[in-house]
Amino acid sequence: MPVRPSPDVPTPRRLEESSVVITGGTAGVGLAAALQFAAAGVPRIALLGRDAERGTAAARVVAAKNAAIQVEFFACDATKLEEAERVISLTRERFGRIDVLVNSTTTGYTPDLLHRTPAIDLAPLLTQVALAPMYVTRAVLPLMREQRSGVILNMASDAAKVPTPGETIIGAAMAAIVMFSRTLALEAKRDGIRVNVLTPSLIAGTATAERVQKEGFSAKLFAKAASLAHLGVAEPDDLAALIVFLASPQARRITGQVISVNGGISAG
């Protein structure tokens, strides 16, 4: 006999009816995702970021992609719990609901060997990288549970999966994001909420790529990585395309997955 779907499986929301929130949405992958969501007909997009001037400019760029959509920028330091909660509450007031959360925040950390990393920097690095997506996810989770639907997409990196000299701390922080996301995927699935993680390596054309390739140990590390990307170093649009797909009903059966987009730098 054919397997029949359970009648209480929540119905995923169409992108054309969704409200999307993107932390780190003012540049890089976050901005690329916002532009592709706009092109896909998403009617409401909120961009979160620290820099008000850059955020306002990014909102104008996204709004120009589709004159019919509502684009908001909210200044926010997502590493602070009270700010994460405030901006999610404000977004819900403006949009009425939140259907998709994309956490694409970055940090100014440049990879280096642990013995050359000041011990006093360890806690701030872990906090800056890992806490922002956790705080924002925790803030949005009750809203999605109430709706009985939602999509959460967290950005980490291959450092979470591939032990790499120079990435002891960043790797630990990224691994925390990965395990946080995978476990939440199991906790939240009965409420119709899907949680997945993207783990790129080097992303061309971003401020992070420019910084880590500039000089020293980090430059050598990422030059070697780039040489292994025989399918090409990933670009923001590559990640954005996957984000939009994973947020769509076409990916309604996909949750708890950790997906690398790295042009062949690593596998698994």
- pLDDT at residue 110 in the model: 78
For residue 231, what pLDDT is reported? 86
What pLDDT does 6 receive? 59
Query: Residue 51's pLDDT is what?
Result: 93
Pairs from 207-215 (Cβ < 8 Å, separation ≥ 24): 207/27, 207/28, 207/106, 208/28, 208/106, 211/108, 211/110, 212/110, 212/111
> In CATH, what number does 15-259 get?
3.40.50.720
Closest CA to 108 of 169, 198, 38: 169
CA torsion, ordered 196, 198, 199, 204, to nearest 10 deg: -170
Predicted pLDDT of residue 153: 98
Q: What is the pLDDT along the chain (268 residues), one digit of tens a residue?
A: 555 555 577 888 999 999 999 999 999 999 999 999 999 999 999 999 999 999 999 999 999 988 899 999 999 999 999 999 999 999 999 999 999 999 998 776 777 899 999 999 999 999 889 999 999 999 999 999 999 999 999 999 998 998 988 889 999 999 999 999 999 999 999 999 999 999 998 888 777 766 666 656 667 766 767 787 788 888 999 999 999 999 999 999 999 999 998 888 888 6
Residue 218 confidence (pLDDT) = 66
pTM of the full predicted structure? 0.92
Rg of the chain in Å (alpha carbons): 18
**Beta carbons within 8 Å of 204's beta carbon, 6+ residues apart:** 233, 234, 235
**Distance of alpha carbon 29 from alpha carbon 142, whole angstroms:** 26
DSSP 237-263: HHHHHHHHHHHSGGGTT--S-EE--ST
